[in-house]
Amino acid sequence: MWAPGAVRPHAMIDDDKILIFYEQYLPPLFHNSEIKWVEASIQDIDEPLKWSWPTTILKPELDWEKVGQVRVGSPYVFYDNHTSMWKMYYSASSVHLDDSDVDEPLHHGLAQS
């Protein structure tokens, strides 16, 4: 991803578009994050891709998304044909693992529209 703090992208093709969903860490300290997406048309394969401006689709708002770091991330998006809805699995919050000195997701969520 081209933006500072953009990590863990998930790309997919929907009809004539490429969609990229990703976690965007927020300045100034890059501890908190939200989930954004961009898209580009692939109708004319000979032209360079023109990406949309990033749009925020999920911010940490629920209590369980604000434990440790206030974050949502690691999006995985798919269309559920059985319910005719878009769904997104994502991780939320974090816990610090002292033995490896890394932060790992504490919860997983499912959003739908």
Please tell me the distance from the alpha carbon of residue 106 to that of residue 64, in angstroms, as a whole number. 9
41 and 29 Cβ atoms separated by less than 8 Å: no
Please tell me the distance from the alpha carbon of residue 65 to that of residue 73, in angstroms, as a whole number. 10
1 and 7 Cβ atoms separated by less than 8 Å: yes
49 and 11 Cβ atoms separated by less than 8 Å: no
pLDDT per residue as tens, the chain (113 positions): 678 899 999 999 988 999 999 999 988 777 799 999 999 998 877 788 899 999 999 999 999 999 988 999 999 999 999 999 999 999 999 988 999 998 889 999 999 99
Q: Quote the pLDDT of residue 43.
A: 81
44, two tokens: 């004319």
